[in-house]
Amino acid sequence: MSRLERRIVSILSVGEKVRLLISSALLLLSLCHSACTSAQELQGPISTADIPGATQPFKLTLVRTIDLAKTNYPEIKAAILHQQAAEAGIQKAKTAYLPKGSMLVEELRATSNNITGPLFPQMTIPQITGAVNGGNDLTGGWLSGAGVLISWEPFDFGLRAAQVHAARAQTEQAIAQLAVTQLDVQSAAADAFLRVLHAQQVLKAAQAKLQRMKTFAETVHVLAQKDLHAATDEYLAEAEVAKARDEVTESEQSLDLSSIALSKSIGLANASLVLDGEALLAQVTTPEPVFGNPFNHPVVLAQRAAVTVAEARRRVIAKTYYPQFNLLGALYGRGSGFNTDVSINQSRGYYPTKFNYAVGVAITLPFLDIFQLRAEQRIATKHESEEKSRLDLAVLNIETQSAQAQALLKAAQKIAANAPIKVKAASEAARSTEIRYRYGLASVNDVALNEQLLTQSQVDYATAQLRVWRALLAVAVANGDLQPFRTLVARAGLPGRQ
DSSP for 70-116, written as a single string: HHH-HHHHHHHHHHHHHHHHHHHHHGGGS-EEEEEEEEEEE---B-S
pLDDT at 42: 32
pLDDT for res 356: 93
Q: Which stretch, 26-35, 110-119, 123-132, 250-259, has highest mean pLDDT?
A: 250-259
**CA-wise closest residue to 455 among 247, 250, 282:** 247
Q: In a 10 Å sphere around its CB, with 0-12 CB exposed, 13-18 middle and 19+ buried, how is residue 98 labelled?
A: exposed
Alpha-helical regions (H) of 115-158? none
**Top-confidence residue, 448 or 205:** 205
The phi, psi pair for 61, rounded to 5°, reads: -110, 170
pLDDT of 432 above 90:
no
Question: Which pLDDT band holds residue 493 (cuts at 50, 70, 90)?
Answer: low
pLDDT per residue over 236-288, tens digit each?
878 878 988 998 899 899 989 988 899 888 888 777 788 887 778 776 667 77
Query: Between 349 and 230, where is the model more confident?
Result: 349
- Side chain identity, residue 319: K
Q: How large is the C-alpha radius of gyration of the chain?
A: 41
**What pLDDT is stored for residue 189 in this prediction?**
92
Highest mean pLDDT among 356-370, 407-421, 442-456: 356-370
Strand partners, 335: 144
pLDDT at residue 416, as a whole number: 79
Strand partners, 363: 325
Whole-angstrom distance, CA of residue 192 vs CA of residue 189: 5
Identify the weakest region by mean pLDDT among 65-74, 158-167, 450-459. Answer: 450-459
Provide the pLDDT for residue 219.
Answer: 74
The β-bridge partners of 357 are 331
Average pLDDT of the segment spanning 97-122? 88
C-alpha distances out from residue 270 to 46, 49, 54, 262, Å = 14, 6, 7, 11
The amino acid at residue 307 is V
Between CA 161 and CA 217 the distance in angstroms is: 83
Q: What is the DSSP letter of 440?
A: T
Domains of the chain as residue ranges with CATH: 62-90+162-309+375-491 (1.20.1600.10)
Residue 13 predicted with pLDDT over 50? no
Reported as type and span, the H/E element at residue 148 is strand 141-152
Beta carbons of 293 and 399 less than 8 angstroms apart: no
Instruction: Give 162-204 pLDDT, tens digit per residue.
Output: 999 999 999 999 999 999 999 999 999 999 999 998 898 888 8
In this predicted structure, which of 134-138, 171-175, 305-309 has the lowest mean pLDDT? 134-138
The single-letter DSSP state of residue 290 is: -
Q: How confident is the model at residue 39 (pLDDT cuts 50, 70, 90)?
A: very low
Mean pLDDT of 441-465: 71
